[in-house]
Chains A and B, each alone.
Chain A
């Protein structure tokens, strides 16, 4: 069966139902209003669409994020719904149970909001500023690197490696972030460098 035809029929069927009338155009009496409330107003109307890719597995499903407010116009933006992108050749608008619930990942209660530090032996995280956190990290890195960097091995061969600090990179970041990460980690001489390829 030719399902292209089938779909066209569906669209015709649907548009026949338009019949030149809409909910909004109708004057509701009190009782009529009670009937109409059954159909919820379509919640995507007059919202902003942004195309993205699902963050979970490597099928790479296309998604559309719906927000109130448009980031590209410099507005504040609040994502309130995420749905599969029917134009994407791989997923054709479908999503799995993780993808279909991406909204709750974006707004998870346990999203981190502020830099925190847990001091040695302490039983709590304490909030710090980005400046404090980043300065501290750079200092810890430099002190460890200066102390433990191996410029030459026992044979006198230049090896320029730093083995006492390691880095696990995130396999849900973008390629661009990964490249920036690569440059920083390798230029420092780190070899204990890995990602989630094996787990």
Chain B
């Protein structure tokens, strides 16, 4: 989230699209009801289903899953044509005026540079034109300005085309355009609340980008009550992402080197961007300080200037990343031997369950660390229809380790609003269950001892890992938190007075501003620097005062970066530094520096008419045109899901996202609308949390049994009664479920064709207290988003038929 949960109360308009906040985040949704009650805010819900968010909305419109980009580009077109643009913001704070290189174009659904055999683009034309001074040329009236290119790009998305693609009735779409366009006023804001309804598509990243672009031209980024608010699904998924527990990441959104970057210098040559416009901060110029401090926190004294701070010991990528789809593809090919699942249930989480089962069956060993008895840990066990495997043939050794749950562990979690909250253990683990940190330390110390004793393949990164904890067998949460914050590894002198020590060896750095690229500081995660400094554990702060009721709560817990509550907050003031909305002040220029309710997201003395608000971009502005940074286009374009009930009406020959990666073998497993006529989608229900709460007695009773939801038309057509049994199948698998027949799912008309939607919730399996059932992953296709490989869970094709129920 760019903003925080409590900031939502400041909004005038909430758009829930690509998510279902009332069901998945009820207590965060509270702030929507507060905005409605106190500010008269309106709520718009756009969803294939009339959800429990829609139940309290002022405006609901149906949309066919996987067509959000067409809808949103249609809204952008409406705003541009009706002059509903926050012009001063758009001209000053976005790249709208910049000139794009000659040669860039878009035709028949493709941008310049497409190579069909590689399923990839040559992106060299997706770039700005530079002037003789080396800076980007800027002229909004130029025919190749980003603005003019955008205008042209969105021009085809008329309300008629939107209705034809999305199935959204034109009158509802237009009404929504009007409501959204009102927030182009500098004194009106809109917030976007989205989640996996936007990410789990083969063009998920572009779904989000399209809304971000709309928010930028409306001037709704960096302001109170505005923003792009990704509602993260797990209690610490934000933290794990921040800390880089992903294939290609280093903590703080640094990236793992590729094998084309054999040295630290080579690695740095493509990072640490220089400003592309005069006076811009281009904050990544500090990249090396964060990187070297990270390497120091990994390998301590063994990371020296002489060995480039042990840069060699970091693994180097040969492909963009070993995301889970690639990992299970390799496993399926028999190329992986071992796998660890720490609080993770891939048998139900990853697409095409048959493939997942086959892949796990090829492992030599599988290690499970979990508080609960998961389906994955018992993937080898036969549970009849619900897990029909040949146990004896599965040669995988499975080691299941009991871990603690939240109630028995101490430490911090990062919420969706980037706030790190400390919590305390209050209960005792059952039996011999152990904390995850203990388990990791025990595994590590044993592995290290084996390498010290036996030697082996490149033992250096393991035996030299900085593990100087009081008890190496169990690092304490405080020790680990301090390490993330960072400290001085040597005395650091005042650059102006070398006799004066500004930070003594061993002291915590105050924030990432103190980090260095010479090895004198170590810091596990630069964006977390400040969480546990010499002032103490800032994550444990519990002062809930909120001066002037802005919703910032600046002294409650700690927010990254540097306790900033709304990022890009400099954009809340105009080019002279005065708040756009005097009734909703956030930050302002007092003539000499930035001041206000939040920590400025800009150098405090950066003059308002010189330094742009988007300091992480070398342009200093936000990008309506993404340059070459997105694999599938500098502008979003409508693509159908890989399995869609109709062809792409803009470019009928293109199936799915033209650059999404498809593994051999998975392509043949895509179904078409002739064989599988119904458009399916998957989602959470408010009564459950993923595959956990089916183990919880109370939640099991609140939503006991797997079901699928269909509309009344399809039910009538197929002779399906509510509460009766159905079979639903795709090209990849089949499930049996109870049917819930509802008015909340309606038949859509897309490209002249009736489209029936089948809704499939995801909470059931064969372990726990709830009735045994299936998940949507028995049916979903094995393909991910073109940029970050999020599986396409939200749009696929199925067939459905009534069946007799199981014999009691």
Contact = CB atoms under 8 A, between A and B. Distances in A.
A53 B336 contact: no
Interface stretch (A10-18, A27-35, A38-46, A92-100): A92-100
Interface stretch (B73-81, B415-423, B578-586, B633-641): B415-423
B761 interface: no
B316 A157 contact: yes
B316 A161 contact: yes
Main secondary structure of the interface of A (DSSP, over half): mixed
Given A71-B427, A142-B450, A177 B458 contact: no
Interface stretch (B138-146, B435-443, B622-630, B725-733): B435-443
B164 to A, nearest CB: 31
B327 A137 contact: no
B27 A90 contact: yes
B735 interface: no
Contacts of A50: 424-427
B698 interface: yes
A58 B336 contact: no
A160 B56 CA distance: 54
Contact of B400 (A112, A144, A163, A178): A112
B298 A198 contact: no
Contacts of A164: 335-338
Interface stretch (B172-180, B274-282, B343-351): B343-351
B308 to A, nearest CB: 11
B462 interface: yes
A179 B324 contact: no
A196 B370 contact: no
Interface in B311-345: 312-318, 321-324, 326-327, 330-331, 335-344
Contacts of A196: 233-234, 237, 240, 344, 349
Contacts of A120: 394-397
A94 B4 CA distance: 17
Contacts, number: 500
Contact of B243 (A106, A148, A162, A175): A175
B431 A142 contact: no
Nearest to A101: B698
A98 B693 contact: yes
A181 B233 contact: no
Interface residues of B, number: 171
A9 interface: no
Nearest to A103: B698
B411 interface: yes
Nearest to B551: A89
Contacts of B243: 175, 178-179, 182
B338 A191 contact: no
Contact of B234 (A58, A134, A194): A58
A192 B336 contact: yes
Contacts of B251: 179, 182
A195 B461 CA distance: 23
Interface in B372-429: 372-373, 380-382, 391-403, 405-407, 409-417, 419-421, 423-428
Given A89-B546, A118-B397, A188-B447, A176 B236 contact: no
B428 A77 contact: yes
A46 to B, nearest CB: 16
B245 A178 contact: yes
A184 B446 CA distance: 11
Interface string A153-186: 1010111111111111111111111111111111
A100 to B, nearest CB: 8
A151 to B, nearest CB: 5
A170 to B, nearest CB: 3
A124 to B, nearest CB: 8
Interface stretch (B503-511, B660-668, B783-791): B783-791
Contact of B426 (A79, A101, A108): A79
Contacts of B244: 182
A187 to B, nearest CB: 4
B601 interface: no
Contact of A121 (B200, B394, B403, B406): B394
B103 interface: no
Interface in B484-528: 484, 524-525, 528
29 contacts: A59-B25, A59-B415, A60-B416, A60-B419, A60-B421, A71-B427, A94-B27, A97-B687, A102-B407, A112-B433, A113-B431, A116-B400, A119-B397, A134-B442, A142-B450, A162-B315, A165-B339, A166-B322, A169-B343, A170-B344, A170-B369, A173-B236, A175-B420, A176-B477, A177-B480, A179-B251, A183-B444, A189-B458, A196-B234
Given A167-B339, A170-B342, A186-B298, 11 more contacts: A57-B233, A67-B426, A77-B428, A115-B400, A139-B450, A160-B316, A168-B339, A175-B528, A183-B466, A187-B313, A195-B246
Interface of A: 48, 50-62, 65, 67, 71-72, 76-79, 82, 84, 87-92, 94-102, 104-106, 108-123, 125, 130, 133-142, 144-149, 151, 153, 155, 157-199
